[in-house]
Amino acid sequence: MYGPLRDLFVEVLGYPSKDVDIDIAGARGRPDLTVFAPGAIANAKVSWIVLEAKEQHGVCRKAARRAALFAEKSKYITADTAWFVMVDPTTLVARRADQGENAASDIVLDLATLTYDEFLDRFAALKAEVAGVPQRLKRFREGDLSLIDRDALTGSGDELAESIARNAFYDGLEDTTRQLQAAALSALTAIRDKRNRLNDEVAEFSDRFHGHIFKPYPVSVEGHPKGREETIEHGRAAHTLNRSLAANPALARLTLSALPAFAERTGIDLDKEADKLDKFFATETANLILARILLIRFLEGHSFFDIETPDGSEMRRYLCNGGVAAFQGMRDYFNAHYTRLLEDAYRQGAQVYAAAFRETEHDWVLDLADDTLSRTIEWAMFRFARFDFTTIRGDILTGIYDRFLDPAQRKAQGEYYSPPTIARYMLDRLDLTPEDTILDPACGSGTFLIERYQQAVGEDADRGLASYADACAVIERTAGNDLNPFSAVLTQIQLLFHLLSFGPQVRDEGFPAIRVAERANSLIPTSLRDQSTTRWGDIDVPGYAAVVGNPPYQRPERGQPLDDAAQAHFEQPITVDGVAHDGISTGRDAYNLFIYRALNDWLEPAVQPVGEDNENTADTRPGKLAFILPLNFCAAEKSADLRRLFAPGGRWTITEIVDMELIWRHVFDARVLPMILFAEARTPRDTDTVIVRNADETSVIPSATGRKTRPTFDLAASPEAHIAYADLFTPEGRIATRMTPARAPIIARLRTLPPLSNAAKRYWTKRKGGFRAVDVEPTGIGQAHWTESRMISDGVARRGTGTENSPNGVDIYKGENIRTADLAGAPVFTGLDVENLSTPAFWRNGLRELMPNRVWCLPILEQVPVAAPLDPQTQAVTNTATVFVPRPDLETFPFDLLLTSRLYGWVTLLSLRASYQDMLRGHLYPSIIASLPWSENLAAAEAALEALRDPFLNACRARFDAAQELDRQAATLPLVPLKTAFKTHATKIDKLVASAAFDDGEPVLVTLQPEDPSDPLTVALSEEGHSVPMPNPLLANRLRLGLALAQAKGTEIKKSTLPTLPVPEDAAAEAALTALLASLDPLAVESEVQARVDEIDQVVGTALGLTPDEINFIQTDMRDDPFLSRVRPRYPFFTPAQRGRRTSLESSSRYE
């Protein structure tokens, strides 16, 4: 029936045929028919009418069945959709999109008796001539009150209508943000030439008169003339320049004050990064406009601008009718722009709460006459006029600014958005009372402060269980600061949003003073200066019950060294309760300094009660810290001095750690592996235990709205372990975030064994009188000049030196060439004269001669240790690999097979990681390899290990051969690139998109995930969030088969290679590929490889002194643990599939 329906809208209702789209393929997330109409922006189209057609008779006749259909398909309704049409063979129904469950106003037409005239009459409101946003905007300008406050987001009793309104609200935020940002950037770019000319004029003036000073009110520039004649000349030049500035003071303030200040704050080079500066500045400008528009709408909705007349209260609106209607006269007569109306609204808003509307560097737009920006501001006003802001509660506002803060800009400034549900978990774990004080010293847009308000009083207020006085008291105990004034204003605005639920009382009593400071560097103690003159000085005090937040990791403005006094504050030793403790270096990432300041300066310290030994009573509860940090805090050398202050016998106590490595893609929109650190401002006790929680996918709750919203989190659903405090720390002082009581004793036993460096060759070097190296310990005179070392080191570094194809040159490989037992791929350099490299490493003259014919190389950036043999006479590796030279008595020992044992991967990942990279990788530096456990019993097991080489390599080869045979047979099938299948079976408006996990450009080894029954059209191909949504079931199934083939072959996929992935061309090819995958499965052959590794584990584990139960525990742990099961060692010929715990994937029927 689609053809006749399309004709109905085109021939009868008057829509252009190109604006009526039929979903022939049954695409995902699209209605059967969509009618587009003009949007607010030129040439834009919006989904004005959506239609669902049903073949069954009577589906649309009864209200109850219509309600079910509407509820099911309401996901198609966007912020601009006006009508939802339902049709079956007997009935045609139109319902306004905002009506929810209300069927009373449905337009119901009986197709059996319907006449042409009746159709035109009843469907008059759906005609093309009255369709589209411009028609509604016209009514908005004319003062049509039916467009105002009509959509309730809570409290209406119609849950479906509220859901539609909330989605429209969120869609409106996303779209309006994008439009405002684009308009602000366009306006700023349009005046760049004027800004450049003004800068040139001032620069010339400054050069002539030895610098200058700019005064913004009134705008003027003064130089520093020297001598009488130059002073006279300066007076004339300044008068001329200032007269030019006065002609456009807004441009002068923007060019000479606002943009330079913003550039300094953000670390952007004013001259070299002009485009970046304009983009970031315009983005913050647009975001602030939107934030203030929302606040004014809240104030309007809660009657803050109403005026009293003899006849009673009279509604007064600024950003919706009648302010907009009243403004039209000024627009017509004076050609005024909406920035003028915005400025008037700001002025009125400042009378209610001045801090949210005080002038900032972003108010340059208020003096700008830009038509595009003006239209976009009008569009923003219109967009939010429809919502009843008295019905917006705290849960709707949670995370609101994540929808329009630019992730690229936050990342560039070292700021990462904190998901509200994670912030709430942190606050709940702190076990605070409503009376406790709390500080977020880098509050960003206020997520932690908002969640604290909700926790302490907001949720009770929404239920009518808390008074305005209770809310004000919590606000007064909540404090924050941010260097970015925009972020500080957003925080205050968000808190105001929540307080407005007490409308009448707020109007009568006013808002409380919100304790959020701006522009202050939290890392510089105000005690070093006069703290009485700043808002931050009032906040930067000791005694807080909790300090929370997500402090900056690295920020350009924090990259500048602190002054001497501030550096001394961090670095000087301090004595606490008679115990001396070192300070920490200030040349570290900012988060280290925030942790130190929190525990040293802001939190309430534990006070030892009289007569009690090493115990804190409830009355002396120490202050608590909860920070989101990068996982590198646990291992990086740059945090070592801070970690020492948490170690047993240190200053402060870690109480809980949440490791979020497995869910990092969901947490941040940046490549950061996060964790949560909980600590207390007290000394660790011998009886302390630490809660270690390892978050996995069970804690990630995908958004159910169908909108572009981030997931929520239930971290409490992830497994936790309670471990002894001392077990948290490795012998090197790192923090082991994946320690458990069951793992700890085995780890401890392995770490007490001699290090692998004992198996490396000893050598001695001397530099006095020229470099010399020997492998026999020197004795006699001059012995003291020799230095003993072990032959474990980085490979060579070229740095532009050395010549290829030299007669005595060697082939150079990189770490990525290394596989167990072999080097794979071509060398990066051929025949390089290594002795002339900038860093020849062991290939230096004098050292090369000490190496035997076989040494070992191991990749540095890897998940677990992997070794391949190397002939140092003909081969070398770069410094992306470690070179290990065995002792003379171990020159035949199979170190490649030794490290193939899962025991070495297990101990490395749990106790030896020195850095945290994505995909479970870390830097396996030579010092890490040297620290691996070793036992001389292993030397005695050499023959047993070597006997396992051929069975292991043969199993790996069989796996490779099976993949090759699969590839050969698959090549005979009619497979086509995915892009070809997509063009054939998707509509023209469908797009091939991939999840954000692909955006890093890294290849991913396909690990096809089970189909999600709730979203069968999204094909997930890894446990790290790589997925591809398909527009219909046919394409989803063919993509799944194509990926199954890629997985069986061990193929890696990138976003750029996804369109060329081979998939079945037709149904016959589908059936043939399904049968082929079921009959010839390389993954089944891989089980033989794992059986051989089991045998290696038994030999190695026994030699290391482990019991059979302990070996079995490690093997099971590596197979079943959500983290360890993702390890993919570099085996010969192939990389194992990352199956994890999904054992069903090993079934031969998994593709059927």
pLDDT in tens, 572-600: 999 988 899 999 998 878 999 999 999 99
Q: What is the CATH number of the domain that holds 56?
A: 3.90.1570
What integer pLDDT is reported at residue 402 of this predicted model? 62
Terminal Cα distance for the chain, rounded = 34
- Whether residue 216 lies inside any domain: the answer is yes
Residue 1081, pLDDT above cutoff 80:
no
Partners of 1063 in beta bridges? 976
- Whether residue 1086 lies inside any domain: the answer is no
Residues 6+ apart with CB under 8 A from 350: 356, 357, 358
Check whether residue 681 and residue 601 sit in a common domain.
Answer: yes
Q: β-pairing, 1004-1005 with 1052-1053? A: antiparallel
* Closest-CA residue to 80 (of 178, 172, 6, 177): 172
CA gap 692, 721 in Å, rounded: 5
Check whether residue 463 and residue 573 sit in a common domain.
Answer: yes
Check whether residue 677 and residue 659 sit in a common domain.
Answer: yes
What integer pLDDT is reported at residue 15 of this predicted model? 97
- Whether residue 1113 lies inside any domain: the answer is no
- Cα distances from 608 to residues 357, 432, 748, 1075, in angstroms, run 47, 21, 33, 73
Check whether residue 505 and residue 522 sit in a common domain.
Answer: yes
Q: What are the pLDDT digits (tens) for 718-754?
A: 989 999 999 999 999 999 999 999 999 999 999 999 9
Check whether residue 363 and residue 417 sit in a common domain.
Answer: no
CA gap 965, 968 in Å, rounded: 5
CA gap 732, 749 in Å, rounded: 15
Residue type, 1142: R
What integer pLDDT is reported at residue 689 of this predicted model? 98
User: How many independent structural domains does the chain possess?
Assistant: 5
At residue 327's C-alpha, the angle toward residues 325 and 333, to 5°, is: 120
What integer pLDDT is reported at residue 406 of this predicted model? 60
Query: Is the separation of the CB atoms in 486 and 362 below 8 Å?
Result: yes
State percent of the chain over pLDDT 90: 64
What integer pLDDT is reported at residue 1135 of this predicted model? 61
Least confident of 370-374, 477-481, 553-557, 927-931: 553-557
Q: What is the CATH number of the domain that holds 890?
A: 3.90.220
- Whether residue 465 lies inside any domain: the answer is yes
Both structure tokens of 735: 């923090």
What integer pLDDT is reported at residue 1136 of this predicted model? 59
What integer pLDDT is reported at residue 557 of this predicted model? 43
Residue with tokens 């140092």: 872
Domain that holds residue 358: 177-392
Max mean pLDDT among 80-84, 671-675, 779-783, 916-920 falls in: 80-84
Partners of 21 in beta bridges? 34
Residue with tokens 């003009």: 38
Check whether residue 82 and residue 189 sit in a common domain.
Answer: no
Max mean pLDDT among 329-333, 537-541, 763-767, 1099-1103 falls in: 1099-1103
Both structure tokens of 449: 């402060």
Q: From 1065, 1096, 1113, give the residue that closes a domain.
A: 1065
Q: Which residues of 848-857 are buried (b: 16+ CB within 10 A; e: fewer)?
A: bebbbeebbb
- Whether residue 6 lies inside any domain: the answer is yes
Give the DSSP H/E element, type plus range, for residue 823.
strand 822-823
CA gap 17, 875 in Å, rounded: 69
CA gap 365, 362 in Å, rounded: 7
- Cα distances from 485 to residues 262, 315, 420, 439, 560, in angstroms, run 10, 33, 21, 17, 19
Both structure tokens of 651: 């200053």
CB count in 10 Å sphere of residue 753: 18
Mean pLDDT for the stretch of residues 92-117: 92
What integer pLDDT is reported at residue 6 of this predicted model? 93
**How is the chain split among helix, strand and coil, in percent rounded to 5?**
45, 15, 35
CA gap 1062, 971 in Å, rounded: 10
Both structure tokens of 30: 């699209």
Both structure tokens of 1091: 């059986």
Residue 1055, pLDDT above cutoff 60:
yes
Query: Is the separation of the CB atoms in 975 and 1063 below 8 Å?
Result: yes
Q: From 940, 962, 989, give the residue that closes a domain.
A: 940
Q: What are the pLDDT digits (tens) for 16-50?
A: 999 999 875 544 457 889 999 998 877 889 999 99
Least confident of 2-16, 23-37, 768-782: 23-37
Mean pLDDT for the stretch of residues 946-974: 93
Least confident of 56-70, 408-422, 988-1002, 1061-1075: 408-422
Residue 707, pLDDT above cutoff 60:
no
In three-state secondary structure terms, 964 is helix
Residue 125, pLDDT above cutoff 50:
yes
**Strand boundaries in 1006-1064, DSSP class E:** 1018-1020, 1027-1029, 1052-1053, 1062-1064
CA 487 to chain centre: 18
Kindly report the pTM of this predicted structure: 0.84
Check whether residue 402 and residue 388 sit in a common domain.
Answer: no
Check whether residue 565 and residue 673 sit in a common domain.
Answer: yes
Q: What are the pLDDT digits (tens) for 308-367?
A: 888 888 888 888 877 788 888 878 777 888 999 999 999 999 999 998 898 888 899 898
Residue type, 695: A
Mean pLDDT estimate for the chain: 89
- Whether residue 950 lies inside any domain: the answer is no
Residue 833, pLDDT above cutoff 80:
yes
Check whether residue 605 and residue 512 sit in a common domain.
Answer: yes
Residue 668, pLDDT above cutoff 90:
no
Max mean pLDDT among 20-34, 482-496, 828-842, 1014-1028 falls in: 828-842
- Kindly calculate the radius of gyration of the chain based on its CA atoms and give it in whole angstroms: 34
What integer pLDDT is reported at residue 1051 of this predicted model? 84
pLDDT class for 643, splitting at 50, 70, 90?
very high
Residue type, 1132: P
- Cα distances from 750 to residues 714, 743, 872, 929, in angstroms, run 35, 11, 31, 14
Residue 1099, pLDDT above cutoff 80:
yes
CA gap 420, 223 in Å, rounded: 50
Check whether residue 828 and residue 769 sit in a common domain.
Answer: yes
Q: β-pairing, 772-774 with 787-790? A: unpaired
Q: What are the pLDDT digits (tens) for 289-309?
A: 998 999 999 999 988 998 888
pLDDT class for 1142, splitting at 50, 70, 90?
very low
- Whether residue 1095 lies inside any domain: the answer is no
Q: What is the CATH number of the domain that holds 587?
A: 3.40.50.150
> DSSP labels for 221-269?
EEE---SHHHHHHHHHHHHHHHHHHHHSHHHHHIIIIIHHHHHHHHT--
Check whether residue 688 and residue 670 sit in a common domain.
Answer: yes
In three-state secondary structure terms, 827 is coil
Residue 612, pLDDT above cutoff 60:
no
What integer pLDDT is reported at residue 780 of this predicted model? 86
Both structure tokens of 1103: 């030699």
What integer pLDDT is reported at residue 555 of this predicted model? 47
What integer pLDDT is reported at residue 1041 of this predicted model? 96
pLDDT class for 890, splitting at 50, 70, 90?
very high
- Whether residue 1133 lies inside any domain: the answer is no
Q: From 1020, 1035, 1065, give the residue that closes a domain.
A: 1065
Residue 477, pLDDT above cutoff 80:
yes
Query: Could you give the residue ranges of the DSSP H alpha helices within 413-539?
Result: 420-429, 447-453, 459-462, 468-476, 485-499, 503-509, 535-539
Burial class (CB in 10 A: 0-12, 13-18, 19+), 465: exposed
Mean pLDDT for the stretch of residues 810-830: 94
Check whether residue 885 and residue 1022 sit in a common domain.
Answer: no
